[in-house]
């Protein structure tokens, strides 16, 4: 498309029915704020500097969320209606030629394919505007579409202003339009706040354009769920469900097996390779990337992490901000809390917690351990119950364990401490000093034996009764 395409996204309202301190467009569905979905759809149509987001309530927070995308902002101090919100963009949006698409920040389900069809229809027909419509069984609350015999849109009548006859109309205005830019900017100033609410209704553009002999065409969208605008938390949950269902279907069509897809929660930006299997009730959130042929056990939670191919995550494990190399095995009941790196083929077993720890290739910590601020070499074996004491009450200290070392069960490694390659630490040791390469360290009291002690005690007890 050669002529410029601008997109205006209206996101200034508070959204009273959310019953929230937070602006409506910042509530999340599918792992993103509502307005992020709308902006991301717009970014597939046009460059960031052609996208104008109208902000008002909690403008700074909305801007902070969207800033990384490089879109532009227009501040609407008072929300005087959808028409007013577009008017205040006039000085910034190119007006000479091209198209202007208007979207609402609280409608996150719109597909980019639908937006493309909208723009294409306007470009091909050259009409002044195209409005997206759909048919609803219950159109209550929406603006109704009034058409002429040719099928063009004559007017959008808001619920409050509609006659009893017009209230019977099931075709509704979705609030998504593509205008010919010169027509929009030429006639927009003609909108008057002549309604009970005293607002400037963008929908009045339809009648204004008809009055000057310009045409407004409808684009009827079959799947009305795409047009769902979020006004309360019930609709928010519904939008979340639809977005996650779409995501699961997209992954399944790309070769991912999902058992009981209704139970999994996968954020929209997550990437997963083919032949990975996802068991029920798994959550995968943030910017997670998962390779091929992985297996993600039931009820596991994976957040902003990268898993290479063939990683096995057994049930009830949590992995956050971590990197797991090929063929590693995690869980069940493991916790990779923050910034860990697990080497290829390593094993992390049940009730093992890792924090800022690097585990070498083929290393194993199979049961009941805490490994924090540690660098652990390849093929190290960490016995059950091993604890790195990384915190002295004031600061965190590192633990280093060399390649092939063996840490006996229930060892306490008091950091900062270093254990050399191939060294052994006897079970139950408290290690406070460096253990050189290939040494054996025993940091525990020697066993004391008293022959016959127990028998004597029993006999003494009997006689005292």
The item of Ca ion, ligand UD1, none sharing an interface with residue 203, based on CB under 5 to 8 Å by kind, is: ligand UD1
Question: Is residue 80 a contact point for ligand UD1 (CB under 6 A)?
Answer: yes
Site residues (CB under 6 A) for ligand UD1, limited to 225-284:
229
Give φ, ψ of 352 to 5 degrees: -110, 130
Judged by CB, which is closer to ligand UD1: 105, or 404?
105
Site string for ligand UD1, 137-166 (x = CB under 6 A): -----xx------------x-x--------
**Residues 37, 341, 347, 367: which is the catalytic one?**
367
Region from 170-178, 245-253, 339-347, 431-439 binding ligand UD1, contact rule CB under 6 A: 170-178
Of 424, 419, 383, nearest in space to 402 by CA = 419
Tally Cβ neighbours within 10 Å of residue 106: 26
Tally Cβ neighbours within 10 Å of residue 215: 17
Smallest distance, ligand UD1 to C-beta of residue 245, A = 22
CB 200 within 8 A of CB 84: yes
- Bridge partners for 419 per DSSP: 401, 435
The item of Ca ion, ligand UD1, none sharing an interface with residue 81, based on CB under 5 to 8 Å by kind, is: ligand UD1
Judged by CB, which is closer to Ca ion: 229, or 261?
229
Judged by CB, which is closer to ligand UD1: 10, or 296?
10
Task: Decide if 397 is catalytic.
Answer: no
The item of ligand UD1, Ca ion, none sharing an interface with residue 76, based on CB under 5 to 8 Å by kind, is: ligand UD1
Q: For residue 290, what are the contacts with CB-CB under 8 A and spacing of at least 6?
A: 270, 271, 272, 273, 276, 284, 296, 302, 306, 307, 311
Sign of CA dihedral 418, 419, 420, 421: negative
Tally Cβ neighbours within 10 Å of residue 263: 16
Q: For residue 346, what are the contacts with CB-CB under 8 A and spacing of at least 6?
A: 325, 328, 329, 359, 360, 361, 362, 363, 364
Question: Is residue 202 a contact point for ligand UD1 (CB under 6 A)?
Answer: yes
Region from 101-109, 275-283, 307-315, 373-381 binding ligand UD1, contact rule CB under 6 A: 101-109
Smallest distance, Ca ion to C-beta of residue 136, A = 14
Question: Is residue 81 a contact point for Ca ion (CB under 5 A)?
Answer: no
Judged by CB, which is closer to ligand UD1: 138, or 465?
138
Region from 119-127, 134-142, 228-236, 451-459 binding Ca ion, contact rule CB under 5 A: 228-236
Q: For residue 451, what are the contacts with CB-CB under 8 A and spacing of at least 6?
A: none
Place of tokens 């990197």: 323
Give the residues lining the site for Ca ion (CB under 5 A).
229
- Residues labelled catalytic: 367
């Amino acid at each position: 498309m050669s002529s410029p395409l601008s997109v205006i996204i209206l996101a200034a309202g508070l959204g009273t029915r959310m019953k929230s301190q937070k602006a409506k467009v910042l509530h999340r569905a599918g792992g993103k704020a509502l307005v992020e979905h709308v902006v991301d759809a717009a970014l597939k149509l046009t460059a960031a500097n052609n996208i104008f987001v109208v902000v008002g309530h909690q403008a700074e927070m909305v801007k902070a969320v969207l800033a990384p995308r490089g879109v532009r902002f227009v501040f609407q101090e008072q929300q005087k209606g959808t028409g007013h919100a577009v008017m205040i963009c006039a000085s910034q949006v190119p007006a000479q030629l091209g198209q202007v698409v208007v979207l609402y920040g609280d409608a996150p389900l719109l597909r980019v394919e639908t937006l493309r069809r909208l723009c294409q229809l306007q470009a091909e027909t050259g009409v002044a505007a195209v409005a997206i419509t759909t048919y609803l069984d219950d159109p209550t609350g929406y603006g109704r579409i009034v058409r002429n015999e040719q099928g063009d849109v004559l007017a959008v009548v808001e619920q409050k202003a509609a006659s009893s006859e017009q209230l019977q109309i099931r075709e509704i205005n979705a609030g998504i339009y593509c205008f010919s830019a010169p027509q929009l900017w030429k006639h927009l100033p003609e909108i008057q706040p002549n309604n009970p609410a005293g607002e400037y209704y963008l929908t009045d553009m339809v009648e204004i354009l008809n009055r000057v002999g310009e045409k407004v065409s409808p684009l009827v969208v079959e799947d009305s769920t795409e047009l769902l605008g979020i006004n309360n938390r019930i609709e928010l949950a519904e939008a979340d469900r639809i977005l996650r269902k779409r995501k699961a279907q997209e992954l399944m069509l790309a070769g991912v097996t999902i058992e009981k897809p209704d139970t999994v929660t996968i954020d929209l930006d997550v990437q997963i390779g083919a032949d990975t299997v996802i068991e029920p009730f798994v959550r995968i959130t943030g910017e997670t990337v998962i390779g091929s042929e992985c297996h993600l056990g039931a009820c596991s939670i994976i957040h902003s992490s990268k898993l290479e191919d063939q990683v096995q995550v057994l049930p009830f494990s949590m992995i956050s901000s971590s990197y797991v190399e090929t063929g590693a095995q995690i869980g069940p009941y493991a916790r990779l809390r923050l910034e860990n790196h697990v080497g290829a083929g390593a094993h992390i077993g049940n009730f093992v917690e890792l924090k800022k720890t690097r585990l070498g290739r083929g290393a194993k910590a199979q049961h009941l351990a805490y490994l924090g601020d540690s660098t652990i070499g390849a093929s190290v074996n960490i016995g059950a119950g091993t604890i790195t004491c990384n915190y002295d009450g004031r600061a965190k200290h590192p633990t280093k364990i060399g390649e092939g070392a063996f840490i006996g069960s229930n060892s306490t490694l008091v950091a900062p401490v270093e254990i050399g390659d191939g060294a052994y630490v006897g079970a139950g040791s408290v290690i406070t000093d460096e253990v050189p390469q290939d040494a054996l360290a025993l940091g525990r009291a020697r066993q004391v034996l008293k022959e016959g002690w127990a028998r004597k005690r029993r006999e003494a007890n009997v006689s005292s009764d």
